Amino acid sequence: MKKKPGVLRLLFGLHLPVLLIVLFAVGPYVWTFVSSITPQSETDTAMRYFPEKATMDNYARLFGNIKFGKNVKDSLIVALGSTVIGLALTLTASYSFARFKFRFKQFFLIQFLAINMFPIVLLIIPLFIMMKKLGIMDTHFALMIAYSTFTIPFATWMMTGFFRAIPRELDESAQIDGLGRLGTFVRVIVPIALPGVSATGIYIFTNSWNEFIYASILTSSAVRTIPVSLQNMVGEYQIAWGLLTAGGVVAAIPIVAMFFFVQKTMISGMTAGAVKG
């Protein structure tokens, strides 16, 4: 008969380490929220774990005086646009890699992965010159193009693994029933691949939502995303901690909500995409 582990062994070997890991992960977010409801006068005088009098003034100033709502709108337009463009190109490219045979296929697929080994800052000068020549500096579309350079390669790698895990017999059955290659892809393969599509879409959206370097170089006044706006709250001699943390809380809400609603789909999509076909 198998002996049950002791209470102390479970406590110190499982529950306590898990609790410490959770506190370590959640702690900064709790601290950010507490700081966002702390009056500026308290943050300037002394460090407190909890404010003496909680206030929503930082949020009121954020959306009133600073017009943070426009920054949220710009970030949403760029992130959603990048996701749509990224998925449109990623799904077709990854399906081709998974189903067709052509010369240098493996070489090209490795290049998609190799691109992510280089820092994205290397592309700033070429992208800046290109956007200047095209006359699209300081626009949402400029950021969508820029974000595609580093989100599409890895997204294609992810979706290729997922498409490879789908049996080829499904394609053959659909074509026997009268569907063409495009109809098979749109009406059969993509619906089956929805978990992988969700995981890939969230990956593209999250990277586009949080990106700072390209947004700070390729835009100025007409378009200003959330990361750039938050950076402007850090002065040379003073930091507006209340506004900064309030903006951080607002910026985290869409990502947290997205993960909350599609976490099961995303996890299944990422694990399925890891299966070697």
CATH of the domain at 162: 1.10.3720.10
Please report whether residue 181 resides in a domain: yes
Please report whether residue 22 resides in a domain: no
Q: What is the dihedral of CA 93, 94, 100, 103, to 10 degrees?
A: 70
Q: Tell me, what's the pLDDT at 61?
A: 86
Please report whether residue 17 resides in a domain: no
Rounded CA gap, 199 and 213, in Å? 24
Please report whether residue 168 resides in a domain: yes
Lowest mean pLDDT segment, chosen from 33-47, 153-167, 195-209: 33-47
Taking the CA atoms of 243, 247, 248 and 250 in sequence, report the sign of the dihedral they define: positive
Please report whether residue 89 resides in a domain: yes
Taking the CA atoms of 67, 68, 72 and 75 in sequence, report the sign of the dihedral they define: positive
- Who wins on pLDDT, 268 or 72? 72
Tens digit of each residue's pLDDT (9 = 90 or more) over 221-231: 889 999 999 88
Q: What's the mean pLDDT when you consider all of the chain?
A: 83
Per DSSP, the three-state class of 237 is coil
pTM of the model: 0.82
Cβ(144)–Cβ(85) below 8 Å: yes
Provide the domain limits for residue 216: 67-273
Please report whether residue 26 resides in a domain: no
Q: Residues with Cβ < 8 Å from 218, sequence gap 6 or more? A: 127, 128, 131, 137, 138, 142, 143, 146
- 276: pLDDT confidence band, cut at 50, 70 and 90? very low
Please report whether residue 151 resides in a domain: yes
Please report whether residue 269 resides in a domain: yes
Lowest mean pLDDT segment, chosen from 20-24, 63-67, 271-275: 271-275
Q: What percent of the chain has pLDDT over 70?
A: 88
Largest CA distance in the chain: 76
Number of structural domains (the chain) is 1
Over residues 208-236, the mean pLDDT reads: 88
- 267: pLDDT confidence band, cut at 50, 70 and 90? low
Q: Assign 3-state DSSP to the chain and report helix, strand, coil percentages, each to 5.
A: 75, 0, 25
- 237: pLDDT confidence band, cut at 50, 70 and 90? low
**pLDDT at residue 161 above 70?**
yes
